[in-house]
C-alpha cells in the first residue's frame, strides 16, 4: 500500500513542490493550508514574482497532467479541532510540517507581528503533537526548523546536541540557541516542545534545521505554469539569493546589508526535496528527537552578491552591488562553522551554487524581469521596531 503523507503548509514555497515530489514518487499525499501567506502578501502589498495559481487549480492541474491525486484541506492548524480531525481522518505515516509564518522581517515589524508569529507557529506545532499522540503516535513528524535557531556562536555549531563536561561531569545536551529574530525564536520554542513531546509520548520527530533556500523551478513545477511555486524577492518574504537573482535581472543594485560579512548556510530547493525524502525514508525511532542541519554550503552575503553579479554580467545584465545600512541587528563579522553530516551520511547528493546553476536560475526568471517592482526590493523593516522608511530613498511605506 502507498505510504501516506500529510504536508502542513502545502500551498507554500517549499510545501507545494514537496507535495508534487512525493505524489510523483507514489506517496498518497494530502496538503493542509489556510492560505494565510497569500493574505500576508496582500497586507504588505507585494506579490510573488511568478503568478501563482489558486491551490484548487494547482491540485486539479496536477491530477489532469499526472493522474495523481493530492488531497487538500483548507484550514488553520492553530484551530485544534480542525487539525485534530484532519490527522484522525488522514492517518498519515509521515507528516511534513512547513505551516508557519517564515519571515524574520515580518516578525520584527512591530509587537503585533511578533506576537502573531509566535502564536501561529508555536500553537500550530503544539496542536500537531497532540493530534499525533491521540490518533497516530507511530507517525513520523518531520518539522522544518532553521539554522538561524543557533545564531552565530563563536564555536562550531553541532547537529542539535553538544557534549559538555561541567565540574567533572559529562552530558549530551541541546545545543545553546541564540536566534536573531522573533521568527527564529518561534522555531526554538517549537524545537523544545517537540523534544519534550517525543520524550514523554515516545513520538518520532526529525527537526530539520534548514539553511536559506534558493531556487525557482523543480522538475514537477516545470510541467505547467499552474504548478510553479511562490518565488519572492520583496524585503519581507524574499530570501537573500532569490532577492539577488531578481535584482540582477531587473538591473537593480544587489542589496548587501551592512559589511556583508554575515555568514549563513544555504541549499538549493532541489536539495530541500532530497533531504525531506531522506528523512521520510529513514524515520526517527520512537521517542527520538533527531536533529539534522539541512544545508549544503556556507557563504558570506557579500561573497554571494559578488557571485551573482559576476554571472549576471556574463549574461549581459547590468549588475552592481550596493552596501545599504543594515536594517537588522546582527553580527556582521563573526566565526561560523556548522556541522552538517547527518544528511550526507544518509546519501544526500548536494546541488552546489555553481556558475551554471546561477546562470540557469537567472535565465528562468529573466522572462519576469519587467514585473520586478523596484520599490518592493529596498529594505524597510528595522529591527528596532520603528515603522520604516525606504532606507535608501527615505520614502515612507
Query: Catalytic residues, which ones?
Result: 146, 183, 187
The smaller minimum CB distance to ligand USQ, of residues 23 and 263, is found at 263
Q: What is the distance between the alpha carbons of residues 219 and 135, in angstroms, rounded to a whole number?
A: 34
Residue in 62, 217, 257, 368 binding ligand USQ, rule: CB under 6 A: 257
Q: Would you call 271 helix, strand, or coil by DSSP? A: helix
Provide the terminal-to-terminal Cα distance of the chain, rounded to the nearest Å.
53
What residues numbered 234-253 form the site for ligand USQ, per CB under 6 A?
Answer: 239-240, 243
In the list 10, 17, 99, 102, the residue contacting ligand USQ (rule: CB under 6 A) is: 102
Grid coordinates standing for 385?
521596531
Does residue 181 bind ligand NAD (CB under 6 A)? no
Please give the DSSP secondary-structure letter assigned to residue 74. Answer: E
Nearer to ligand NAD, 35 or 202 (CB): 35
Per CB under 6 A, 35 contacts ligand NAD: yes
Which contiguous run of DSSP H or E holds residue 66?
Answer: helix 55-66
Distance CA 160, CA 177 (A): 10
**How deeply is 390 buried, as exposed, middle or buried, from its count of CB atoms within 10 A (0-12, 13-18, 19+)?**
middle
**Residue 281 or residue 333: which is nearer to ligand USQ going by CB?**
333
Identify the H or E element spanning 97. Answer: strand 94-97
Return the number of other C-beta atoms located less than 10 Å from residue 213's C-beta. 20
Q: What is the gyration radius of the CA atoms in the chain, in angstroms?
A: 20
CB of 12 to ligand NAD, least distance (A): 2
21 versus 317: smaller Cβ distance to ligand NAD: 21
Task: Give me the phi and psi of 362, to 5 degrees please.
Answer: -65, -40
Candidate residues 7, 49, 83, 104; the one interacting with ligand USQ per rule CB under 6 A: 104
Q: Choose the binding region for ligand NAD from 21-29, 75-83, 160-168, 244-252 (rule: CB under 6 A).
A: 75-83
The set of residues, in sequence order, having a beta carbon less than 8 Å from that of 29 and lying 6+ positions away, is 5, 7, 19, 22, 23, 70, 71
Which of 275/309 has CB closer to ligand NAD? Answer: 275
381 touches ligand USQ (CB under 6 A): no
Collect all residues with Cβ–Cβ distance below 8 Å to 69 and sequence separation of at least 6. 23, 63
Nearer to ligand NAD, 146 or 247 (CB): 146
- Smallest gap from residue 168 Cβ to ligand NAD (A): 38
**Nearest CA to 351 among 277, 272, 239, 248?**
272
Q: Is 264 in the site for ligand USQ (CB under 6 A)?
A: yes
Q: Examine residue 34 and tell whether it contacts ligand NAD (CB under 6 A).
A: yes
> Which sign, positive or negative, has the C-alpha torsion 171, 174, 180, 182?
negative
Cell 500551498 -> residue? 11
By DSSP bridging, strand 94-97 and strand 140-146 are parallel
Rounded distance between C-alpha atoms, residue 350 and residue 267, angstroms: 8
Q: Can you tell me which of 94, 120, 146, 218 binds ligand USQ, judged by CB under 6 A?
A: 146
Q: Which of 256, 267, 280, 308 binds ligand USQ (CB under 6 A)?
A: 256
User: Which region among 5-13, 196-204, 215-223, 366-374 touches ligand NAD (by CB under 6 A)?
Assistant: 5-13
Q: Is 12 helix (H, G, I), strand (E, B) or coil?
A: coil
Residue 56 backbone dihedrals phi, psi, to 5 degrees: -60, -40
Question: If binding is defined by CB under 6 A, does position 274 make contact with ligand NAD?
Answer: no
Among 7, 9, 96, 243, binds ligand NAD (CB under 6 A): 9
Sorted by sequence, the CB contacts under 8 Å of residue 380 that are 6+ apart come out as: 235, 327, 388, 389, 390, 391, 397
Q: Which is nearer to ligand USQ, 260 or 283 (CB)?
A: 260
Q: Which residues within the stretch 100-119 sit at the binding site for ligand NAD (CB under 6 A)?
A: 100-102
For position 212 contacting ligand NAD by CB under 6 A, the verdict is: yes
Give the per-residue contact string, 144-163, with ligand NAD (x = CB under 6 A; - = no). Answer: x-x-----------------
Which stretches of the chain bind ligand USQ, using CB under 6 A?
102-104, 146-148, 184, 211-212, 239-240, 243, 255-257, 262, 264-265, 301, 328, 330
Residues near ligand NAD (CB under 6 A): 9, 11-15, 32-37, 76-78, 98-102, 120, 124, 144, 146, 210, 212-213, 230, 239
Amino acid at each position: 500500500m502507498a505510504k501516506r503523507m500529510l504536508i502542513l503548509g502545502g500551498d507554500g514555497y517549499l510545501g507545494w513542490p514537496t507535495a508534487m515530489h512525493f505524489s510523483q514518487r507514489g506517496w498518497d499525499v494530502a496538503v493542509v493550508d489556510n492560505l494565510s501567506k497569500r493574505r500576508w502578501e496582500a497586507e504588505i502589498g507585494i506579490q510573488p514574482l511568478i503568478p501563482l495559481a489558486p491551490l484548487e487549480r494547482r491540485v486539479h492541474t496536477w491530477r489532469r497532467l499526472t493522474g495523481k491525486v493530492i488531497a487538500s484541506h483548507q484550514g488553520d492548524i492553530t484551530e485544534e479541532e480542525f487539525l485534530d480531525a484532519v490527522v484522525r481522518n488522514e492517518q498519515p505515516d509521515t507528516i511534513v510540517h512547513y505551516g508557519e509564518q517564515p519571515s524574520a522581517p515580518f516578525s520584527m515589524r512591530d509587537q503585533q507581528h511578533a506576537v502573531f508569529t509566535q502564536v501561529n507557529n508555536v500553537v500550530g506545532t503544539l496542536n500537531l503533537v497532540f493530534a499525533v499522540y491521540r490518533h497516530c503516535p507511530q507517525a513520523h513528524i518531520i518539522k522544518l526548523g532553521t539554522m538561524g535557531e543557533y545564531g552565530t556562536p563563536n564555536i562550531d555549531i553541532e547537529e542539535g546536541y553538544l557534549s559538555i563536561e561541567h565540574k567533572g561531569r559529562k552530558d549530551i545536551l541541546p545545543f545553546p540557541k541564540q536566534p536573531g529574530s522573533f521568527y527564529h525564536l518561534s522555531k526554538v520554542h517549537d524545537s523544545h516542545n517537540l523534544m519534550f513531546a517525543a520524550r514523554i509520548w515516545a513520538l518520532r520527530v526529525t527537526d530539520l534545521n534548514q539553511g536559506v533556500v534558493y531556487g525557482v523551478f523543480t522538475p514537477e513545477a516545470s510541467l505547467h505554469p499552474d504548478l510553479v511555486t511562490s518565488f519572492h524577492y520583496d524585503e519581507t518574504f524574499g530570501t537573500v539569493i532569490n532577492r539577488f537573482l531578481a535584482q540582477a535581472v531587473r538591473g537593480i543594485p544587489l542589496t548587501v546589508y551592512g559589511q556583508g560579512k554575515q555568514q549563513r548556510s544555504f541549499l538549493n530547493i532541489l536539495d530541500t526535496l532530497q533531504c525531506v525524502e531522506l528523512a521520510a525514508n529513514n524515520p526517527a525511532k520512537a521517542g527520538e528527537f533527531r536533529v539534522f542541519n539541512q544545508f549544503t554550503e556556507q557563504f558570506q552575503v557579500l561573497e554571494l552578491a559578488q557571485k551573482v553579479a559576476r554571472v549576471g554580467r556574463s549574461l549581459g545584465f547590468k549588475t552592481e552591488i550596493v552596501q545599504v545600512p543594515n536594517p537588522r541587528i546582527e553580527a556582521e563579522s563573526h566565526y561560523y562553522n556548522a556541522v552538517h553530516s547527518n544528511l550526507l551520511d544518509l546519501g544526500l547528493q548536494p546541488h552546489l551554487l555553481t556558475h551554471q546553476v546561477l546562470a540557469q536560475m537567472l535565465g528562468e526568471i529573466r522572462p519576469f524581469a519587467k514585473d520586478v517592482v523596484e520599490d518592493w526590493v529596498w529594505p524597510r523593516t528595522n529591527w528596532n521596531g520603528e515603522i520604516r522608511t525606504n532606507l535608501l530613498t527615505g520614502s515612507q511605506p
